[in-house]
Amino acid sequence: MQSMITKCSLVLGVVLLFASCSKDDDQPTAAKPSISITEIGSGNSKTAYAGSDLHLDAEVVAPGTIASITVDIHAEGSSPWHFDSVYTEGFAGQKNANFHKHIDIPENATPGHYHIHFTVKDQLGQETEMEAELEIRVDATLPTLGELEVSPNTAGTDLHLDAEINAPNKIAKVVVEIHGGSYENEVEYTDAAMVGQTSYHFHKHIDISAAPAGHYHVHIKVIDQANKEREFEDHFDKK
């Protein structure tokens, strides 16, 4: 009888050991994703303007490898605008990434306080969420940019920019930034014919011969003489 009990105890111990190992195998073996939101709005002002865009920048680290990044923006009160988007392209499969997006805010977005929920899910099913605050304002005196033309020449050495600028508070300067991969180029314009004007036909050619083939983002920041600024974004491919 004692022998039988001993054998049963051994069998039970083995079963429990395997069950424990199986449970351990089911547990994630990597730390949860971490998020560092570095910029909400121009200069991390945590403000944006209806009819403009929101600059959102964050650093993401996911030892378990990124599966998706979700951004949800909703008003504290009522607003016809609610933003919810899932990003995978350029992020899925990466262990760390710089999240840099410009989110369009429609003109009918209700001014006031909004909540931003930034969620990263890894390929182990783990999620990390960070919440931040945003204020949307209305300002009819902000600079505006008409239809923007962004086109590289056939040789890929010259980038053509063309747009109409309107600035009720008069133009102070225009800053153009081009970036993609490891390439970055920033050019500041303070043309005598442009500075102090409320409207101006902006037409420039920028040397991009040093940029390798790839996809590029163009940011045009218009700053007025009241120190108000508005940034516009477009993109192009260099073959």
The pLDDT of residue 14: 44
- If asked whether residues 151 and 127 sit together in one domain, one would say no
Range of the domain at 180: 144-238
* pLDDT exceeds 70 at position 166: yes
Domain-located, residue 29: no
Q: Which strand (E) or helix (H) includes residue 166?
A: strand 158-166
Token code pair at residue 31: 């730390």
pLDDT tens by residue, 80-127: 999 999 999 999 999 999 999 989 999 899 999 999 999 999 999 999
- If asked whether residues 42 and 122 sit together in one domain, one would say yes
Q: What is the phi/psi pair of residue 2, to 5°?
A: -60, -40
Q: How far apart are CA 100 and CA 232, in angstroms?
A: 14
- If asked whether residues 121 and 162 sit together in one domain, one would say no
- If asked whether residues 126 and 150 sit together in one domain, one would say no
Looking at residue 100, which CATH number applies to its domain? 2.60.40.3880
pLDDT tens by residue, 24-55: 555 668 999 999 999 999 889 999 999 888 99
- Long-range (24+ apart) CB contacts under 8 A made by 186-189 are none
- If asked whether residues 213 and 125 sit together in one domain, one would say no
The pLDDT of residue 10: 47
- If asked whether residues 109 and 192 sit together in one domain, one would say no
Percentage above 70 pLDDT, the chain:
88
The total of other beta-carbon atoms located within 10 Å of residue 70's CB is 16
pLDDT tens by residue, 175-200: 999 999 899 999 999 999 999 999 99
Question: In total, how many domains does the chain have?
Answer: 2
- If asked whether residues 50 and 111 sit together in one domain, one would say yes
Exposed (0-12), middle (13-18) or buried (19+): which is 92, by Cβ within 10 Å? middle
- If asked whether residues 39 and 107 sit together in one domain, one would say yes
- If asked whether residues 39 and 128 sit together in one domain, one would say yes
